Structure 1
Amino acid sequence: EDVIGQLKALRERKQLASPCTVVIDTTLDLDDSPELRALLRDPELAEMIQSGALNVVWHRSAQKFDMLGEDNYYGGVVCCLNNGEAFQAFNERIRHPAAQLGGIYYQGLTHLQKAIGAARDDYVRRLRSNAELLYSEVSAASFSDLKIAPMQEGSQFFLHLRLPLRLSNLATHVVTALAALLARKGVIVSHRGSFGFARTNIIGIGSKGIRITAGLEDADTIKTIAQAIIELASKLQSASDECASYSELQELLRELVASSNSKARGSPPTESEP
């Protein structure tokens, strides 16, 4: 998003609230973000902040990349840049003890913020690079049935496979079949209801399809995962053409899991939202 351009355009048209608070979710961004630096260095926006016209708040969930794949601490990081006099009520409310972390969560996240250094950004870059590789490998194949959602800003870490309507209620079965196929190929995936993990993660997202987030595996393993997706998609396409009912499709997916002759790890959960 062009936050700088949007703020300036709204101000020029006299449509900007006075005072104005802009909240930016940076969970998927780098800690050393060029875009955020550009925003904070813009002279016009700097003047608005100093004069009390603008309050910039950026936050990120620390349950994703900050723990390098381990989501055992709950919380996040919030930074505010404003004129303290103009935004006194805002600052008092956000500093209220009820809004702050405490106990082991505060201890754990504070330690990570002090000690992690540039490792978080390196971690994010590697996951993003692997996600882009997975997307390029899978999108190069041609599917007449399974749809691949475009990778765009806000989804650079996800490969979203949209199932056709007749398969929309079978996402969990498709995930299980894919995990079993990968296990046979020597690749173990996880099924955790989030993202940012060190191992490739595959979950069903209700009727919306399947979400795959690449991990830190090497390029050959990522390509193996892509090949398994393509292989399963081909089998599903053939099966969809032959199966006349939902129950037949469900049984076919069970057979695919059984024929893999390998036990997939865990029972993949579903999420209502991506």
Structure 2
Amino acid sequence: MMNPLKKIDEQALVTEILMGDYRTADIFKKYNIDYCCGARWPLQTACELRGLDTAVVKQELEEATRTVHISTSLPFDRWPLDFLTDYIIHVHHAYLRSTLPALDNHLTHFIAEHRKKFPWLDELGQQFKLLHTQMLLLMIQEEESIFPYIKQTHRAYTSNDSLAGLYTRTLRKPVEKVIEQEHQLVTEVLRRMRALTDNYTLPANACRSHYVVFMKLRELDNDLVQHLYLEKAVMLPRVLLIENELKLR
């Protein structure tokens, strides 16, 4: 279910808009509008100072704050495997491809400006870059090899193809190995990032950039937990069951 657009007041201070929804940071950054220390302009004034169309920026800010709710009661375990793999690609993989580069940019600038105050930020940056690099590689492997195999196996199984067993034995892909590798990577990185940030808890003297980075990291954490759950707890057991049954044909 999609919520209606949240209206942005063009006379509101940039900092007020940001603190109302951290997702507006991407739009402010896009237009080089300062939202951190010293930013005290109303949105309209900030736009005029940069020669920007306030109406356009305002619309993009409103789009950025749109929220789509996905019910936790969806029967993921009963979805056909080919539909489930498409859901993971179009929802979770698409989210990561959009979010990781933008968050990398936010985090890099934040670390450069605050590493002296928070020495642990350098390790946080290293952990994030590891996650960023490895997740992109794992997603390519899933989309080009693992998921097509799962789809083909599912179709062969549900259609009672007489050659399904032979197909599974000869063209089998390392589904369990790839998913376990992804699970181990995500679990270790998230565990360390949570420890470094005290579960993304803002210190009393946190600036607005600190707020944006921590909220985005928490959002990423939540999405990866759901992503991993679908692959490891919902998809993998069903794939292994089908493979075992097809081996006996």
The TM-score normalised by the length of structure 1 is 0.24
User: Structure with the greater relative contact order (CA < 8 A, sep ≥ 6): 1 or 2?
Assistant: 2
Of Structure 1 and Structure 2, the greater strand share is in 1
The TM-score normalised by the length of structure 2 is 0.26
Of Structure 1 and Structure 2, the greater helix share is in 2
